[in-house]
Structure 1
Amino acid sequence: MGNFLSLVQNENMKIYRRLRTWIMLALVVLLPILFASIIAINENRFGPHTEAWSAASNLSFIYFLVSIFSVVIAADIVASEFTWGTIKLLLIRPWTRSKVLLSKLLAVLLFAIGISILFMIVTIAISQILFSSGPTATNMEQSNFGHFSLMIFYKFVDLLVISIFAFMISTVFRTSGLAIGLSMFLLLAGGILGAILNPVKYAWAKYLIFNNMDLSQYDMWASAGITAPSGMSLGFSATVLAVYVVIFLVIAWLVFKRRDVAA
């Protein structure tokens, strides 16, 4: 177990010793501060004033960058080993290929969790500093925090699915560019594809991955009194996404286990 933890630590060191990682983390810190400051300055001049938790919700759009950064890490963590030729050195050590791949996956997940927590802390802190707190009742604060956390959690689920998809593409094709490109296409074009292949029109479309992403849509539909497409629910979409994640991981594992790296 200790050897495996050392392997995970080694993968984390590979991530955090690169300058681009610290640039990503710096942007996650600086951009919420920048946008919050611009909003606060404009409100001081023109009004009206925004409450802190509303400001935090408005700043949540920056989380899209967190998704992109996580995809970049996931797409590169396996492909870079083949690009640099270090995969041979990694596999001659006393670790099975399954453990090597698992350690890389855990490093990606830890990065995604860490950068998401960092984004939440910075966003909440800067919103509380620059904007009025609004109602100060404890139950109201808990409700606002719960709503914001749930919003970020829904976005994190999308991040998780897209990152594992990028991880799979990177492992199968050994190229980070293709993994990033396909992942960004799925992330950006998912809404368009969902509109074309609407589950209301095509019953089978409810099993497509992009129609089950953005779990927050169920909350929006419920608040608007809109009924979800037949057979779809929050639990259904979560199950479909879980199945896709398992498929992505199995494909990555099978290919990595059988890949010839002698050449």
Structure 2
Amino acid sequence: MGSFGNLILNENMKIFRRPRTWIMLSILALISLLMPVLLREGMGSNEVLYWEAAVTTIQVTFFLNTIFCVVIAAESVAGEFTWGTIKLLLIRPWSRSKVLASKYLTVVGFSIVSTLLVIAMAMLMSYILFSHDAPGGSGSPATNALTLWGYLYVDLFITLAIAFMVSSVFRSGALAIGLSLFIMFSQSIFSLIFNPVRYEWAKYVLFNNMDLSKYMTSGADFALMGGPSAGMTLGFSIAVLAVYYVIFMVISWVVFSKRDVAG
């Protein structure tokens, strides 16, 4: 376990020694701090609850957060081949499974750090600039916000798994980034075309299950997005995502383990 810990430490050093990593984190922090200021100036009032301001800020910033995390995931394996350092890595007394596991855990760790950074900065500035009064109506704004952020991270988590798989299989960071961005941009379009309400089989399509925030919606809008009428529930979507996730990971590990990566 000690050697594996050193392997993870080594992978983290590769990421955080690069100026680009700190530039990306700085951009995320800056935008998360500026967005509440812009919201305050745009509305000309601070009557909005700070939780709501934080939610809006994070929804905007999270898209960029996903892109930055995908860049890290895409180059985690492909970058080793690009720079030729994969040979140096594999001559050390670590199995290929441990090498790949350390890279994946480091990528996930980075995504958690960047996500917590975005949330912390957005909450801090929103708390300073906006109202703390308890809103009327049902439902806790804190609970709703935390639930939404959890759903956003699940979407990010699956997108990272796709980028990591493509990076491992095709050894191309550009392809991994391009495919992940394509999925991010076209997710809603494919969900509209392959609507589970019209096509029974479409409820098993990855795109229709990645956005878990739709389960926070109710009424006709929820049905149009593939709600109970299509036989879809939160538990169903999580199960479908889990199956896809396992498939992505198995493909990554099998290809990386069997391929002559040192050649």
Q: CA, structure 1 residues 167+225, in 2 after alignment: closer, same or farther (shift >3 Å)? A: closer
1:183 aligns to what?
Answer: 180
Identity of aligned residues (%): 49
In the TM superposition, what are the counterparts of 1:15-34 in structure 2 within 5 Å? 15-34=15-34
Give the stretch that moved more between structures: 224-233 or 74-83: 224-233
Of the three residues 205, 210, 225, the one matched with 1:208 is 205
TM-score, normalised relative to structure 2:
0.93
* 1:194/1:211 contact within 8 Å kept: yes
* 1:164/1:249 contact within 8 Å kept: yes
CA-based RMSD of the aligned residues comes to 1.9
Deviation by residue 1:40-94 (Cα, 9 ceiling, x = unmatched):
22334xx473221111111122111111111111111000000000000000100
Q: Secondary structure at the match of 2:140?
A: helix
In the TM superposition, what are the counterparts of 1:222-233 in structure 2 within 5 Å? 226=223, 227-233=227-233
Q: Secondary structure at the match of 2:228?
A: coil
* 1:191/1:210 contact within 8 Å kept: yes
2:52 aligns to what?
Answer: 54
Residue type of the alignment partner of 2:47: H
Distance 1:188 1:134 in 2: 37
Q: CA, structure 1 residues 222+90, in 2 after alignment: closer, same or farther (shift >3 Å)? A: farther
Deviation at 1:36, TM superposition (A): 1.4
* 1:11/1:103 contact within 8 Å kept: yes
Deviation by residue 1:88-113 (Cα, 9 ceiling, x = unmatched):
00001000000000000000110011
Q: CA, structure 1 residues 6+49, in 2 after alignment: closer, same or farther (shift >3 Å)? A: same
Distance 1:225 1:85 in 2: 49
Distance 2:102 2:222 in 1: 44
Alignment gaps of 5+ in structure 2: none
Residue type of the alignment partner of 1:53: W
* 1:218/1:234 contact within 8 Å kept: yes
1:11 paired with 2:11, answer yes
In the TM superposition, what are the counterparts of 1:77-156 in structure 2 within 5 Å? 77-135=76-134, 143-156=140-153
2:239 aligns to what?
Answer: 239
1:64 aligns to what?
Answer: 63
Deviation by residue 1:115-142 (Cα, 9 ceiling, x = unmatched):
11111111111100111212299xx9x9
1:74 aligns to what?
Answer: 73
Deviation at 1:231, TM superposition (A): 2.1
Deviation at 1:27, TM superposition (A): 1.1
Deviation at 1:222, TM superposition (A): 5.6
Residue type of the alignment partner of 2:7: L
